[in-house]
Amino acid sequence: MRRFALIAVPYLWLLALFLVPFAIVFKVSLSDTALAIPPYTPTMKDGFGALVSGLDFENFVFLTQDDLYWKAYASSLQIAFFSTIATLLVGYPMAYGMARAPEEWRPTLMMLVILPFWTSFLIRVYAWVGILSTEGFLNQFLLWVGVINEPLTILNTNWAVYIGIVYTYLPFMILPIYAALERLDESLIEAAEDLGCSRFQAFWLVTIPLSRNGIVAGCFLVFIPALGEFVIPSLLGGSGTLMIGKVLFEEFFANRDWPVASAVAVILLLILIIPIILFQRNEQRQQEAEQ
């Protein structure tokens, strides 16, 4: 009985916080827009028979016929991918430095990494508007040191979105990599160097592979929220940045087209779930092969 209760808890959690909401969103995606509350039909008020017969895949077909949605998916995937790579390039050296720092300094460095979470996410993103604008701190600094002769246009471009995503999600990349590197057995690196490896070769052949789980976890923690990001592209990217999070917001709150918005959300979820499932299966096969 106790074992059943332990197993049931995560399944109930999954059912309540994922499967039930997903089923509701999927049902709305098969409905039609209506001038009513809620703004779609059919609903349970129409009876079970009318509810089932009124559902169709019309909204999914519509998404394939309008280029806006596929361009938004492609743009979101591109921005999320390159932002994840940039976050990894910035976050890995920081995590490595933390893991190699004296033990008494590590709690302080950890606190500095999570310190931004003590401030509102919205305020932090708004702060970048002041930094990246034409009259902002960054342009003023570059003009002062003589690197540029006239202010750069960074705000309201994709560059500003990349900077905002890297800054916002950097702790999510650093922490799992740091956790992996901190557990790394130093004797393995010493053994590689004793066998003739240079420091770089030992880092590339020993440290990187053994921190792979942290890298993968960090990439997922950055890529998944970045793909559906709405606040950062809206505040830093302006109207020229096309991301699926902005499209979802417009469909839900401006057009009040809940069925199409739900169809967009279902496809977005499938885009995120499929690589996660493939990764988990690959991990499972590797563990079985190692055994």
pLDDT bucket at 283, cuts 50 / 70 / 90: confident
Q: What is the pLDDT of residue 277?
A: 80
Q: Rounded to 5 degrees, what angle do the CA atoms 137, 140, 142 make?
A: 110
pLDDT bucket at 219, cuts 50 / 70 / 90: very high
What mean pLDDT value characterizes the chain?
Answer: 88
Which amino acid, residue 280? Answer: Q
How far is the C-alpha of 288 from the C-alpha of 247, rounded, in Å? 42
Q: What is the pLDDT of residue 37?
A: 80
Q: Is 158 a residue whose pLDDT tops 70?
A: yes
Q: What is the pLDDT of residue 52?
A: 82
Q: Is 11 a residue whose pLDDT tops 80?
A: yes
Which amino acid, residue 126? Answer: Y
Q: Which residues of 137-166 are buried (b: 16+ CB within 10 A; e: fewer)?
A: ebbeeeeeeeeeeeebebbbbbebbbbbbb
